[in-house]
């Protein structure tokens, strides 16, 4: 069935289809083999220079009439003036109403290219590269923590109080040199902040408390994300944190094993839950409050999801994060460990080789 969309390549499906960034919304038609993008003079030349796909053609946009009328002209021109069209879940609603009034049936897709969940060798290579570049940022973070000293309730680096902001800025600069952009930010959060999974972190980092470092930059060259989390403690973690870290690490290891065994997505989540419950921690409203992981590719969070309600079974070519965590705001503790796992015919490969030594004296 033909696909029809109106969006920019910030929509990962459109970037997947055309492989050249176009930052303003455009019309897109996919007839199966032949694909068409309709661009104006601002974009056309660049697109034609970069496009390597002989089945994808850029057509100069000559808009006339209303937005809806123009879309209709395009469809008729490409023989799509009747029948059914696949459109993305967030297809413009007014245009949808208009097309339906013309007798077009719209088949709404959660993803226009669900095959995105199965990565090709080239895509795996791109993710691998993003992961390796992101590991360099972890090495930098760890080096700075190692070279820092503890003074009472602060961590000092080059005689200044080491902050979340400084570490994020250093990591971001290194990543930019590697052509990786942290467009959704960076999490380097300590103590109370670490206990809120998506808190980006701010202010001075504290010794003997957990420091959650979650980096999820995207390659500007390939478009593919990495997504890695390590939790560090500068100084000596109290026993409470030690035990908790060990439980999260075990949950993560068992989660990865479950991927390798070909378990269903929801069962992988269950494996992590069970480890944490058995170790005496909570799941749901406190403790382990999020899913075990998610697909990774042109989106930082994409299908398949690894949660209670997931219905998928993982397949070779899936790349998923495994990232159990524990969060206790009242105790000021958050811990998360996250790797990116490629599902293979034989089992699973952890694309992240960055070590998990976490206590930095």
Binding mask 175-214 for a copy of itself (x = CB under 8 A): -xx---x-xxx---------xxxxxx--------------
Residues 141 and 170 sit within 8 Å (Cβ to Cβ): yes
Whichever of 146 and 177 has its CB closer to a copy of itself, that residue is 177
By CB under 8 A, the residues from 127 to 166 that bind a copy of itself are: none
By CB under 8 A, the residues from 262 to 301 that bind a copy of itself are: 285, 289-290, 301
Helix pair angle (121-147, 164-177), 10° resolution: 140
Tokens at residue 259, please? 């991927």
Which of 43, 123, 323, 340 binds a copy of itself (CB under 8 A)? It is 43
Residue 12 backbone phi and psi in degrees, to 5: -60, -30
C-alpha to C-alpha distances, 157 to 77, 163, 192, nearest whole angstrom: 64, 9, 22
* Residues linked to residue 181 through DSSP beta bridges, in sequence order: 218
Whichever of 21 and 235 has its CB closer to a copy of itself, that residue is 21
**Contact call for residue 1 and a copy of itself (CB under 8 A):** no
**Contact call for residue 329 and a copy of itself (CB under 8 A):** yes
Three-state secondary-structure class, residue 78:
coil
**Contact call for residue 52 and a copy of itself (CB under 8 A):** no
Which of 34, 79, 89, 146 binds a copy of itself (CB under 8 A)? It is 89
Which of 53, 94, 151, 278 binds a copy of itself (CB under 8 A)? It is 94
Q: How far is the CB of 97 from a copy of itself (least distance, A)?
A: 8
Q: How far is the CB of 44 from a copy of itself (least distance, A)?
A: 8
Which of 13, 123, 172, 227 binds a copy of itself (CB under 8 A)? It is 172
How far, in Å, CA of 197 to CA of 334, rounded? 8
**Contact call for residue 169 and a copy of itself (CB under 8 A):** yes
Whichever of 7 and 30 has its CB closer to a copy of itself, that residue is 7
Spell out where 134-184 has E strands.
149-151, 154-157, 160-161, 180-181
Q: What is the DSSP string of 12-71?
A: HHHHHHH-S---S-EEEEE-SS-EEEEE-HHHHHHHHHH---TTEEEEE----S-HHHHH
**Contact call for residue 28 and a copy of itself (CB under 8 A):** no
Which of 2, 31, 35, 44 binds a copy of itself (CB under 8 A)? It is 44
Sign of torsion, CA 66 69 71 77?
negative
Residues 182 and 223 sit within 8 Å (Cβ to Cβ): no
Binding-residue total with a copy of itself (CB under 8 A): 45
Q: How far is the CB of 355 from a copy of itself (least distance, A)?
A: 26
Which of 108, 139, 236, 261 binds a copy of itself (CB under 8 A)? It is 108
For the beta sheet containing 3-7, the strands, ordered from the edge strand earlier in sequence to the opposite edge, are 56-60, 35-39, 26-30, 3-7, 84-88, 105-109
Binding mask 220-249 for a copy of itself (x = CB under 8 A): x-----------------------------
**Contact call for residue 90 and a copy of itself (CB under 8 A):** yes
Q: How far is the CB of 217 from a copy of itself (least distance, A)?
A: 12
**Contact call for residue 173 and a copy of itself (CB under 8 A):** yes
Whichever of 42 and 143 has its CB closer to a copy of itself, that residue is 42
Q: Virtual CA dihedral for 107, 113, 115, 118, nearest 10 degrees?
A: -140
Closest CA to 182 of 142, 129, 133: 133
Q: How far is the CB of 262 from a copy of itself (least distance, A)?
A: 27
Residues 290 and 273 sit within 8 Å (Cβ to Cβ): no
Q: Which spans of this chain sit near a copy of itself (rule: CB under 8 A)?
A: 10, 21, 23-24, 40-46, 49, 87, 89-94, 96-97, 106, 108, 169, 172-173, 176-177, 181, 183-185, 195-200, 220, 285, 289-290, 301, 327, 329
């Amino acid at each position: 069935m033909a696909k029809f969309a109106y969006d920019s390549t910030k929509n990962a499906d459109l970037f997947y289809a055309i492989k050249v960034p176009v930052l303003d919304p455009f019309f897109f038609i996919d007839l199966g083999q032949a694909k068409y993008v309709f661009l104006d003079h601002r974009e056309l030349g660049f697109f034609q220079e970069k496009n390597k796909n002989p089945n994808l053609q850029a057509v100069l946009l000559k808009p006339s009439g209303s937005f809806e009328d123009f879309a209709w002209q395009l469809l008729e021109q490409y023989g799509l003036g009747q029948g059914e069209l696949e459109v993305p879940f967030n297809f413009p609603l007014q245009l949808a109403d208009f097309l339906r009034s013309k007798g077009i049936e719209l088949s709404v897709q959660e993803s226009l290219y669900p095959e995105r969940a199965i990565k090709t060798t080239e895509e795996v290579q791109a993710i691998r590269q993003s992961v390796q570049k992101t590991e360099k940022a972890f090495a930098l973070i760890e080096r700075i923590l190692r070279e820092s000293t503890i003074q009472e309730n602060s961590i000092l680096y080059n005689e200044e109080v080491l902050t979340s902001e400084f570490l994020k800025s250093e990591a971001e600069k290194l990543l930019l040199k590697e052509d990786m952009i942290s467009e959704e930010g960076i999490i380097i959060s300590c103590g109370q902040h670490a206990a809120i999974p998506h808190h980006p972190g701010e202010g001075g980092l504290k010794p003997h408390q957990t420091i959650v470092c979650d980096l999820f930059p995207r390659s500007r060259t390939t478009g593919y994300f990495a997504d890695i989390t390590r939790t560090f403690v500068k100084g000596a973690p109290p026993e409470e944190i030690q035990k908790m870290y060990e439980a999260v690490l075990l949950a993560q290891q068992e989660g990865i094993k479950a991927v390798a065994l070909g378990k269903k997505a929801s069962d992988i989540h269950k494996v992590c839950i069970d480890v944490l419950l058995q170790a005496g921690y909570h799941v749901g409203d406190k403790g382990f409050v999020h899913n075990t992981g998610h697909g990774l590719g042109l989106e930082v969070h994409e299908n398949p999801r690894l949660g209670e309600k997931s219905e998928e079974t993982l397949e070779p070519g899936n790349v998923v994060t495994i990232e159990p965590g524990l969060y206790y705001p009242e105790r000021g503790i958050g811990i998360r460990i996250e790797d990116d796992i490629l599902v293979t015919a034989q089992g699973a490969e952890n694309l992240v080789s960055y070590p998990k030594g976490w206590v930095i004296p």
